[in-house]
Chains A and B, each alone.
Chain A
Amino acid sequence: MARITLDGIAHRYDTRSQSAALKRLNHVWQHGRAYALLGPSGCGKTTLLNIISGLIMPSEGRVLFDEKDVTQLPTERRNIAQVFQFPVIYDTMSVAENLAFPLKNRGIDRRAVKARVAEVADLLGLTRDLSRRARNLTAEAKQRVSLGRGLVRSDVAAILFDEPLTVIDPSLKWQLRSKLKAVHRALDLLMIYVTHDQVEALTFADEVVVMKDGSVLQVATPTRLFEQPEHTFVGYFIGSPGMNLVAAEVDGHVAHVAGQAIELGARYPKLAAGSTKLGFRPDYTFLVADGSGVPVQIRRMEDLGRRRLARVALGPHEIFATVPHDVPIAGEQAHLAIRQDRLFVYAHDELVSGDRR
């Protein structure tokens, strides 16, 4: 059993520099859950991962495994397995030797090693390749071998993945991903999965940690990230296309966007223009035919097969909206309806909760 606690962790690579690779962060990773660390390149995901695995010592804070402080412990003495972006295998060894290597190094009895290797190979579908040279495998199988080297250690509490699907052939990605999920179900381990691909994150994880510029913006289930983003970046980054974000002036029940009043469905304090934004997803924004709602100009229609999207202009703002199949579109003028329970107000990019009474 293991729970990993990050207590006030922060990191900067260069002690003299002002910019932190990772800003102060508290988080508890629960046993048996799958987490995804999602964010654009350079947001600190890998730094955070390496701090947990012990490849990097954080400049500040403590890392706890259950109640034990492991901040100063080197990687090999933590119960952590890590799978890297590129498959790391020992070229000179067979698959079986690769899998046995971490156990051999820890001085485990040869018979126990053999049994454990067979067990893990079976779990990962590598049994038939055990005697093959690891170097001759496909990238996908190599990634399974490097995952296997983590799993053979029976004391492993958590497996960390650093964008493990990067070099995998697209047609094989789903195979490896479902293997990972199967392993997670079978072994009841804590898994942390770094990626910049939202589809990967949302399909893999129980909880997604969205990061940007070294800080964690939101930790939530995939559904919640989509339905209620707590930060404008989360709204914009999750979903395709992302959330519509327009500058607004908010007072009470009404927001003013480019001279148009929009009903909010909740009461807000007076928020000044400039730092205030209104956010609503294209999925909950509809073009309507009956003339009610906010008047907009249609710029372009995009037929995505299952749904139709319209790119419309509201003053200087460009907005994506869903076009219901029963709404005929003619001319350049249209009206917009936004679901009020999916309409959010952000001040300084942070979600402001309104009074819904």
Chain B
Amino acid sequence: MTEKPFNNRAWLMVAPVFALVLFSALLPMMTVVNYSVQDSLGQNQFFWNGDAWFRDLLNPSTEIGARFADALLRNLSFSLVALAIEVPLGIAVALSLPRGGWAVGPVLVVIALPMLIPWNVVGTIWQIFSRADIGLFGAALTGLGLHYNVTQEPISAWCTIVVIDVWHWTPLVILLTYAGLRAIPDAFYQAARIDAASRWATFVNIELPKLQKVLVIVVLLRFMQTFMIYTEPFVVTGGGPGSATTFLSIDLVKIALGQVDLGPAAAMSLVYNLITLTLCWIFFTIMMQLDRRRYA
């Protein structure tokens, strides 16, 4: 038997990364965990509260539980609506982009522009854009006789937030899908032509299956981002009218920084985090399973 040499100095190489992760993620996370099991009456005095915050949060009959359940529902429906619009729209646009030639560069840049604008700037742009008096969008809709008012009509507010997200992030779907489409060899299209496949049959039998991996990434990214939406409702609607656009993140900030209820806020952010993780895991598993079952 040969003696395997041990050299634990290699750990030194990992130490900087470990320290970085510790300070950037683990320690802040642990403070949150710490807050979530304590209560405070101010003056920086804390006492043990066990899992009471969590039980309140997950019980819809309590005040905070009801708030949480409502916001969670809003988040889920927002993500669902945004994905249902952005993914098909992005694929449709990617399919109609030019495949080559001088136009590709300029077109891609123009499409990517919205993504380069910071969230709060997007919010500010739309806050003005959607006003009925001086905003082009708002004025146009009002001029058409529609009942559009972001600050008073829940439906207007909702639609505006959805439109903002679609405008801001469909480009990501387009670019990723376009890249995926470009990776399909020409021979597949040529074979489809020889087989007299219709445009739709080509899409369903060649393009969609080859895009599967890209679409998993697209759906995950867009789900995570839409589920964590904060800035747009914060700037444009302030969570209103009433609590119509009060999403989890908005409510979280209200509880933590507005009411300084650190315990409930900490419990809420942990549960929020776990829900995001779990949903992503479920998405990923389902899409991969679909893939495997289809080709089994």
If over half of B's interface residues share one DSSP class (helix, strand or loop), that class is named, otherwise mixed; here it is: helix
Knowing A105-B197, A150-B194 are in contact, say whether A88-B295 is a contact too (CB < 8 A). Answer: no
- Stretch in contact with the other chain, from B41-49, B117-125, B172-180, B184-192: B184-192
Which residues from chain A contact B194 at a C-beta distance below 8 Å?
A: 53, 75-76, 80-82, 102, 150
Q: Could you give, for residues 240-274 of chain A, a 1 whenever the CB lies within 8 Å of some chain B CB and a 0 otherwise? A: 00000000000000000000000000000000000
* Bound Cα distance from A74 to B195, whole angstroms: 12
CB pair A74–B193 under 8 Å, yes or no, is yes
CB pair B195–A102 under 8 Å, yes or no, is yes
Interface range, B side: 20 to 34
- Stretch in contact with the other chain, from B25-33, B95-103, B205-213, B246-254: B205-213
Least Cβ distance of A49 to chain B in Å?
11
Q: Does A2 contact B (CB under 8 A)?
A: no
CB pair B196–A106 under 8 Å, yes or no, is yes
Which residues from chain A contact B201 at a C-beta distance below 8 Å?
A: 105
CB pair B295–A90 under 8 Å, yes or no, is no
CB pair B195–A101 under 8 Å, yes or no, is yes
Interface range, A side: 20 to 34
Identify which of residues 74-109 in chain A touch chain B, using a CB-to-CB cut-off of 8 Å: 74-76, 80-82, 84-86, 88, 90-93, 101-102, 105-106
Closest to A102 in B: B195
> Which one, A88, A92, A106, contacts B209 given CB within 8 A?
A92
A-B contact count (CB 8 A): 59
CB pair A105–B187 under 8 Å, yes or no, is no
Which residues from chain B contact A135 at a C-beta distance below 8 Å?
A: 295
Least Cβ distance of A231 to chain B in Å?
31
CB pair A76–B196 under 8 Å, yes or no, is yes
CB pair A90–B206 under 8 Å, yes or no, is yes
Which residues from chain B contact A93 at a C-beta distance below 8 Å?
A: 205
Q: Does B4 contact A (CB under 8 A)?
A: no
* Bound Cα distance from A83 to B82, whole angstroms: 42
* Bound Cα distance from A76 to B197, whole angstroms: 9
CB pair A102–B196 under 8 Å, yes or no, is yes
Identify which of residues 133-156 in chain A touch chain B, using a CB-to-CB cut-off of 8 Å: 133, 135-136, 146, 149-150
Least Cβ distance of A92 to chain B in Å?
5
> Which one, A50, A88, A92, A136, contacts B191 given CB within 8 A?
A88
CB pair B187–A88 under 8 Å, yes or no, is yes
Q: Does B294 contact A (CB under 8 A)?
A: yes
Least Cβ distance of A106 to chain B in Å?
6
Q: Does B198 contact A (CB under 8 A)?
A: yes
Closest to A162 in B: B187
> Which one, A75, A90, A102, contacts B190 given CB within 8 A?
A75
Which residues from chain A contact B10 at a C-beta distance below 8 Å?
A: none
CB pair A136–B193 under 8 Å, yes or no, is no
Closest to A136 in B: B295
Closest to A105 in B: B196
Identify which of residues 58-82 in chain A touch chain B, using a CB-to-CB cut-off of 8 Å: 74-76, 80-82
* Complex A-B, nearest 4 residue pairs according to Cβ-Cβ distance, in ascending order: A76-B196, A84-B187, A88-B191, A102-B195
Q: List 17 A-B contacts (CB under 8 A).
A: A76-B196, A81-B194, A82-B190, A84-B187, A84-B190, A85-B187, A86-B187, A88-B188, A90-B205, A90-B206, A92-B209, A105-B195, A105-B196, A105-B201, A133-B296, A136-B295, A150-B194
Footprint of B on A, CB under 8 Å?
50, 53, 55, 74-76, 80-82, 84-86, 88, 90-93, 101-102, 105-106, 133, 135-136, 146, 149-150
Footprint of A on B, CB under 8 Å?
185, 187-188, 190-191, 193-198, 201, 204-206, 209-210, 294-296
